[in-house]
Structure 1
Amino acid sequence: MFLPESPFPNRALAALDRLAWGLLTPSFWAADRLLDLQQTTAERRRQRQRRCGRCCGCAGQALAGLAYGVLLLLSLPFATLGLLLWLPVQARRRPFAYQYAAGTAPAEPWDLQQPRTFAFVSANVCLLPSGLAKFSNLGQTPQRAAYIARHLAPAPPEPPSARASLIEPRRGEADGYGGTLCTPRLPPGSVAVEMPAEAGEPVLSEHFPPDADFVCLQEVFEAGAAACLRRRLAGTFPHILSEVGARGLRGGRLKLLDSGLFLASRYPLLAARYHAFPNGAREDAAAAKGLLAVQVLLGSAQGQRVVGYVGCTHLQAPAADAAIRDEQLTLGLRWLQLFREAQEQRGDVVAFDVFCGDLNFDNCSRGDELNQRHRLFEVYRDPCRWQPGQDAPWAIGSLLNCLKIYEEPVSTPEKMKRTLSQPAGRQRYLAGPILPSGQPDPAAPGPWQGRRIDYILYRQHRGARPLRTEVAGVSFITQLATRSDHLPVALRLDVAPAPR
């Protein structure tokens, strides 16, 4: 065990934190219920179909709103006391909670002459308190959290020795990571990846990869949702970091939410570090967004550690804030490099270095041109991108049109996969290119593939290294149909001996 499990240095502070939340909970619950009175498009449709009609529904909402408002006012004195207690406690809190499943097998010896494969998943799951989730046309956070947890860990894990022979690129399958049947000529400097026989066909999968080694989630803000994920995923992912980020007063600003980052790993964590962005603005300033970096132990080879690095982040959201995102990317690159320099020991063998998350900009919009040209893409490789402003023809957007997520053609994973496989379906159900103001770009050439704002990037080792990292496959996942306004992305990396 290299990381402390509790986010607090002693039990007394943990008890004070629970007491503070107990005092804050009535006000928090009432405020959330007030916000939850706004309806999703699916709820409005169901209300119109009821016999009582719209009037009865509005009357019920008004009475409920009045009751919640009275409760909120009555609970404010307790909330004030809770806040005064909560703020100083947060100053002593560590920036994450670590869950370790006891009894897990240590990392096995690694023969550096044998190839290995690792699978990564990144997803924005929008697990905010239900009232806040309604602003993205989502609600029912506890139910969505249970669904997501159940499908991220669908079966007990297989022994690592057995998995080593099973995790191979699926060739010739349309539902996996794509089959390698043809590889067109790529622009200079681009990366060859698996793709279907038709160069324009998206690489879509209905399911999360059951053999994922690392899961990086964003917007796991709600405490109950985080607990559900930890409880369900523990059997598959023995090492979990959650509640990431420093709340309370930070840099003169009140952080009511943590970063929302959540990381689950099959492999032991050697070290973890969190850095908060100092430049969050507007609504994003209320959340402790930042960068989470971890070093994982993958095995040992001839007395040397075989390690990997994973970075996860969620950048500034408003579309007009490209300059803020640009600064956050620069900070993130610097922090990742410093973390790696601090943790790497003499003789370490580095198998991979992966950076992922919701970066809130795409590679197709004129409004995102500043971010598209950031130095990030000189350090890390994006397998879905050919050059600034041009994605691979099989790559599609990961951001859905949130007002249409309950429509029948995208209401199940199977239907969403079928719909997004067609140009007309992508045009209707994916968010389209934007201007610097965030408004839709009427001059965007069509048919467009949508805004791809969720990324998994990897870094190729430089210099003399015994291992080389190559992309084995990429997929966009429709598993979260009606449960998120983002498509999760998955990346499979082959790690093999470097050519001499």
Structure 2
Amino acid sequence: MLHKTPFPHRYQQWAFDLSEFILRPVLLSLSEIVSIFIPTTHERNHVVGLMHYLQNLPLLPLYLSILICLLVPAIVAFFLRCLLHLYRNSYILSVRLKDGQTDADASTCHQKCHRYNISTMNICLLPEFLSRFNNLSHTSWRAQNIGWRIIADQDQDQSIIKPKAPSSREHILTNFPGMDFICIQEAWHRDYSRSLVNELHKIYPWIIYDVGNSNLYNNYFLFNSGLMFVSKYEILDACFKTYSHSCKQCLFSGKGLLMVKVLLEKTSKGTKVGYIFNTHLQAYQGETPIIQKQLDEVQLWTKEFRAMTRGQGDIVTFDILCGDFNFDNISPGDQCLSEHRLFSMYVDPARKTVGKDQEWTVGTEMRQSCLWEADVSTPEKFKSSLKNPSKRRRYILDADIEVATLSNLVYNAHPKTGKVNEERDGKRRIDYVLYNKDVNVKVEQYAFVTRLAQVTDHIPVTMTISTL
């Protein structure tokens, strides 16, 4: 059963909306108060920083007044929201078709295409003060801008003519190709996510968002999984499961695996369907072996979902696993994860062997301290920097991690100088698009896209496949 509403009953939705209405100004005020004192590296510039404080400090008394006046009602609203979360569905499927158009009509527009593009991107939509810890700001604007950049790159006539995929020799792109499916991570803020959904609906009829299960033992009723799935094809089935193990800051978010089955085409031989799985694994696990356990669950749950949803006459056209895995294939400390048996089932086109990537790969996890520098300020400049090995290692983390901790990856992740190590420097690639080796597909292109320069701290990855 697909969940198109947050709650089974309308009165539960009304009560939840009321609690959100009371909480929203308090949470916003608290976030803005803290944000004033967490300037980005861009705002630490004398002129920009002065404007930051001149614009925000006068609002401090207003934020404090809202916080004090509404604190007691907000506490009551918070506990009401926690109670209602126990009855909330684990995701919302939003379907927005053109006037007079049905699900079947929309799917028909994209049928008989044997080339599909799947993309993954981590967009860091957190409350403003938490985004600033990642050296990002103006989250509300970023949410709309990310949606605008994606939509601006899409061919409005794709429903009529499927555009030719870019050359397979192009591995760094400034613009998104025509994307059929988008797997998104870190869409954590509910209001900002809705802004993004509204923008993406201009082209994409089917979107799953607000994904997660909230309870005291999972995420302390705080952040959901942050996952989102965007599709031009009809979604036939979906399921979300929360990981059984997490640690550190991930204890406050309900990370897990979003599993989706889509309708591709109905033929006389059967129904062509595709499976796409979207995930975000434990961050900064250190010495605690959490990711290994999560990968075990990914392997188990994908198998169970395929078995549970595959109907008689279904022809599985592709089976894709996407997401932010928070480990790379090269770093010594990540080798045991690169050797996980999941990679005997799902193929990573960007790796040669365990511990060695293709020469054309680049890392996807940026150095947060360098996000605002001129060489990565536009998609074109960012692409040029990625192609230059000495510049690339300044802006992308190196694949030399011994222990993945917050200290090693953020606070002490200073750019190197001296001779460039071509195999490791700027090569921490943690965002993946994988395909199941048991489903016959051909990878036509695998690319890294710089279109989201300065609006997120990850590089989106896109894969174009063709099917028989």
Q: TM-score, structure 2 length as denominator? A: 0.90
Q: Report SS of the residue matched to 1:19.
A: helix
- Residue 206 of structure 1 is matched in structure 2 by 174
Runs of at least 5 residues in structure 1 that lack an aligned partner in the other structure:
172-177, 180-195, 197-202, 463-467
- Residue 495 of structure 1 is matched in structure 2 by 467
Q: Which amino acid aligns with 2:71?
A: L
How big is the shift at 1:367? 1.9
- Residue 122 of structure 1 is matched in structure 2 by 120
- Which digits, 9 at most, give the CA deviation of each residue in 1:381-430, with x for residues without a partner? 00001111111010110011111111111111110101111111111111
Cα distance in structure 1, aligned partners of 2:356 and 2:240: 32
Distance of aligned partners of 1:15 and 1:138 in 2 relative to their CA distance in 1, 3 Å threshold: same
- Residue 188 of structure 2 is matched in structure 1 by 221
Tell me, yes or no, if structure 1 residue 456 matches structure 2 residue 433: yes
How big is the shift at 1:232? 1.3
Cα distance in structure 2, aligned partners of 1:236 and 1:75: 40
Tell me, yes or no, if structure 1 residue 39 matches structure 2 residue 39: yes
Tell me, yes or no, if structure 1 residue 137 matches structure 2 residue 103: no
- Residue 170 of structure 1 is matched in structure 2 by 166
- Residue 19 of structure 1 is matched in structure 2 by 18
Tell me, yes or no, if structure 1 residue 148 matches structure 2 residue 146: yes
- Which digits, 9 at most, give the CA deviation of each residue in 1:448-477, with x for residues without a partner? 242101000001226xxxxx2011101101
- Residue 401 of structure 2 is matched in structure 1 by 434
Tell me, yes or no, if structure 1 residue 299 matches structure 2 residue 276: no
Tell me, yes or no, if structure 1 residue 402 matches structure 2 residue 368: yes
- Residue 482 of structure 1 is matched in structure 2 by 454
Tell me, yes or no, if structure 1 residue 232 matches structure 2 residue 210: no
Identify the match of residue 320 of structure 1 among 286, 308, 321: 286
Cα distance in structure 1, aligned partners of 2:86 and 2:402: 40
Cα distance in structure 1, aligned partners of 2:145 and 2:445: 25
Q: Which amino acid aligns with 1:81?
A: V
Cα distance in structure 2, aligned partners of 1:361 and 1:333: 17
Q: Is the 8 A contact 2:389 2:420 kept in 1?
A: no
Q: Is the 8 A contact 2:115 2:466 kept in 1?
A: yes
Q: Report SS of the residue matched to 1:26.
A: helix
Q: How does 1:75-474 map to 2 (within 5 A)?
A: 75-102=70-97, 103-104=101-102, 105-108=105-108, 116-154=114-152, 155=154, 157-158=156-157, 160-163=159-162, 166=163, 168-171=164-167, 178-179=168-169, 203-209=171-177, 211-251=178-218, 253-320=219-286, 323-432=289-398, 433-436=400-403, 438=405, 439=408, 446-447=421-422, 448-461=425-438, 468-474=440-446
How big is the shift at 1:247? 2.2
- Residue 2 of structure 2 is matched in structure 1 by 3
Q: Report SS of the residue matched to 1:254.
A: coil
Moved more, 440-449 or 325-334: 440-449
Cα distance in structure 1, aligned partners of 2:373 and 2:327: 25
Q: Is the 8 A contact 1:110 1:301 kept in 2?
A: no
Q: Is the 8 A contact 1:255 1:285 kept in 2?
A: no
How big is the shift at 1:64? 5.2
- Which digits, 9 at most, give the CA deviation of each residue in 1:197-217, with x for residues without a partner? xxxxxx2100111x2100111
Q: Report SS of the residue matched to 1:320.
A: coil
Q: Which amino acid aligns with 1:387?
A: T
Distance of aligned partners of 1:295 and 1:322 in 2 relative to their CA distance in 1, 3 Å threshold: farther
Q: Is the 8 A contact 1:126 1:219 kept in 2?
A: yes
Q: Which amino acid aligns with 1:204?
A: I
Q: Which amino acid aligns with 1:72?
A: L
Distance of aligned partners of 1:374 and 1:482 in 2 relative to their CA distance in 1, 3 Å threshold: same
Q: Which amino acid aligns with 2:5?
A: S
Distance of aligned partners of 1:90 and 1:390 in 2 relative to their CA distance in 1, 3 Å threshold: same
How big is the shift at 1:151? 1.5
Q: Where in structure 1 do 4 or more consecutive aligned residues deviate above 4 Å?
A: 56-67, 440-445
Q: Report SS of the residue matched to 2:230.
A: strand
Q: Report SS of the residue matched to 2:216.
A: strand
Aligned length: 450
Q: Is the 8 A contact 2:363 2:397 kept in 1?
A: yes
Q: Report SS of the residue matched to 1:153.
A: helix
Distance of aligned partners of 1:460 and 1:88 in 2 relative to their CA distance in 1, 3 Å threshold: same
Q: Is the 8 A contact 1:395 1:449 kept in 2?
A: no
Q: Is the 8 A contact 2:236 2:262 kept in 1?
A: yes
Moved more, 233-242 or 307-316: 233-242
Distance of aligned partners of 1:67 and 1:444 in 2 relative to their CA distance in 1, 3 Å threshold: farther
Cα distance in structure 2, aligned partners of 1:44 and 1:481: 20
Cα distance in structure 2, aligned partners of 1:282 and 1:396: 28
Larger Rg: 1
Q: Report SS of the residue matched to 2:259.
A: strand
Cα distance in structure 2, aligned partners of 1:368 and 1:27: 41
Moved more, 241-250 or 330-339: 241-250
Distance of aligned partners of 1:338 and 1:98 in 2 relative to their CA distance in 1, 3 Å threshold: same
Q: Which amino acid aligns with 1:450?
A: K
Cα distance in structure 2, aligned partners of 1:60 and 1:228: 24
Cα distance in structure 2, aligned partners of 1:78 and 1:233: 35
How big is the shift at 1:371? 1.2
How big is the shift at 1:157? 3.7
- Which digits, 9 at most, give the CA deviation of each residue in 1:88-146, with x for residues without a partner? 211111011111123252534999xx871000110000011111100100010111111
